[in-house]
Chains A and B, each alone.
Chain A
Amino acid sequence: MKWRTIFSSKTMGDDEVKVFGMWASPYSRRVELALKLKGIPYEYIEEDLSNKSALLIKHNPVHQKIPVLVHNGKSIPESLVILEYIDETWRNNPILLSQDPYDRAMARFWAKFIDEKILSTTRKVSFTTGKEQEHAIEEVTEQLKLLENEVKGKAYFGGEGIGYVDIVANFLVFWFGNLQEALGINIFSQHKFPFIFEWIQNQLKIDMVDECRIPKDKHLTYIQTKLAAFKSASK
């Protein structure tokens, strides 16, 4: 278990914030991004997913997954739940979700769509081959088209600044591109999805987004190792 303390000299009241995460996980990175954007100091605990720590299991007994946010001893699992908790607990800028109920409903809808459709189908693309993979690629392309249509012309999803949906979609900024390269496929490009591409460029302008960059070479090696393991297991 590796420990990394961020902003150790900075305090925000008597808050103790910990994140159990994994460096290559888009779910984990989005939690870190939200905390960094709000300037909340936290302690990061890197989990080895092949050998989960007793502490992780204690803080998330139901799913035993990362990420988990632990705030003054209270455990909050599930990244979308964590993001709303962060926004509701620390009310400083950036405010991630609008106060308007309809705008909130729209943000939650698209966050759910991104996670339950795009991210989920992308995983299918990684772990299938042949016709099944072709079908998954078609599926995720259609899903990205729906997102493209929704993003159209917007600098950030919710308005003037970075918010909830932008953070949820952060996996498009680093993770997705690395995955495409490792798989040797071309689902997403500036040409195919100009609005999503521009949206990503806006996010990249933010320092905190860059601080949550998944290191490319390390990630490519990691993906290739997982793919090799998957291929040998399915023989």
Chain B
Amino acid sequence: MAGELVLLDFWPSPFGMRSRIALAEKGIPYEYREEDLRNKSDLLLQMNPVHKKIPVLIHNGKPVCESVIQVQYIDEVWHDKAPLIPSDPYQRAVARFWVDFIDKKIYELGSKIWKTKGEEQANAKKEFIECLKLLEGELGDKTYFGGESLGYVDVALVPFYSWFYAYEKCGDFSIEAECPKMIAWVKRCMQKESVAKSLPDQEKVYEFILQLKKVFGIE
């Protein structure tokens, strides 16, 4: 069942981190290959001709593209280890809804926070915090979004924590001050080896953002 597993990835990508966490949670060995996004490999272009993006999970030579699809695939193939997605159809729908929400909101708003200034940035910060608060509401008193163990929503959201320091520095605000429950949840997740080992250091991500800002001519 394991076969040959390769993950084409880029170290600061929160999307790549999702698949890393899912594989680590289930203890599945794989080959990690770092892509240079300014010089994409032939393998990447061949395996994801539609989007030409990372992450790409290659299982026995067959590609699975898009991080949310990869996490579901990993969960379905290795279903007997550390299940991430609930088995009840309604709970599954709730989890999918929130992952869809995270995909529609968090990355884009976060990007606006580090890319823009003035009113645009202020609006992005406000909406970003509102989204985190909605997610806090969904978490409630649970240990994780998945209940007592890491679930699909946890895996989809926690990678963005590695970008929080960059957002805070660029946006001059504190996420913990606004959303303490969110940070408490993050800290619980970070105690898990699968998460801690899959996320890069926040300062490294911030340095990377600063470099990107130079490249794009953003002050």
Contacts and interface: CB of A to CB of B under 8 A. Distances in A.
Chain A contact-residue range equals: 20 to 34
Contact of A108 (B50, B72, B97): B72
A62 B131 CA distance: 9
A76 interface: yes
B69 A112 contact: yes
A81 B100 contact: yes
B76 A81 contact: no
B101 A101 contact: no
Given A102-B73, A104-B73, A76 B64 contact: no
Contacts of B90: 71, 74, 76, 85
Interface in A51-99: 62, 71, 74, 76-78, 80-82, 84-85, 88-89
A76 B66 contact: no
Given A105-B64, A109-B69, A113-B50, A62 B101 contact: yes
Best-buried of B62, B69, B101 by chain A (most CB within 10 Å): B69
Contact of B93 (A62, A81, A108, A146): A81
B100 A112 contact: no
Contact of A105 (B50, B73, B93): B73
B100 A104 contact: no
Contacts of B59: 102
B64 A88 contact: no
B62 A102 contact: yes
Best-buried of A71, A85, A101, A112 by chain B (most CB within 10 Å): A101
Contacts of B64: 102, 105, 109
A84 B96 contact: yes
Contacts of B62: 102
Contacts of A78: 96-97, 100
Contacts of B69: 105, 108-109, 112
Interface string B161-175: 000000000000000
Contact of A101 (B76, B89, B97, B100): B76
A81 B72 contact: no
B73 A85 contact: no
B215 interface: no
Given A62-B134, A105-B64, A85 B77 contact: no
Nearest to B60: A102
Nearest to B51: A113
A74 B90 CA distance: 8
A85 B76 CA distance: 16
A84 B72 CA distance: 13
B100 A109 contact: no
Contacts of A80: 96, 100
A77 B73 CA distance: 23
Contacts of A77: 97
A112 B68 CA distance: 10
B40 interface: no
Given A77-B97, A105-B64, A88 B73 contact: no
Nearest to A86: B89
B92 interface: yes
Interface of B: 50, 59, 62, 64-66, 69-70, 72-73, 76-77, 89-90, 92-93, 96-97, 100-101, 134
27 contacts: A62-B134, A71-B90, A74-B90, A77-B97, A78-B96, A78-B97, A81-B96, A81-B100, A84-B93, A84-B96, A85-B92, A88-B89, A101-B73, A101-B76, A101-B77, A102-B62, A102-B64, A102-B73, A105-B64, A105-B72, A105-B73, A108-B66, A109-B65, A109-B66, A109-B69, A112-B66, A146-B50
Closest 7 CB pairs of A and B: A101-B76, A88-B89, A85-B93, A105-B73, A81-B96, A76-B93, A105-B64
Given A74-B90, A108-B66, 8 more contacts: A62-B134, A77-B97, A81-B96, A81-B97, A84-B92, A84-B93, A108-B72, A109-B66
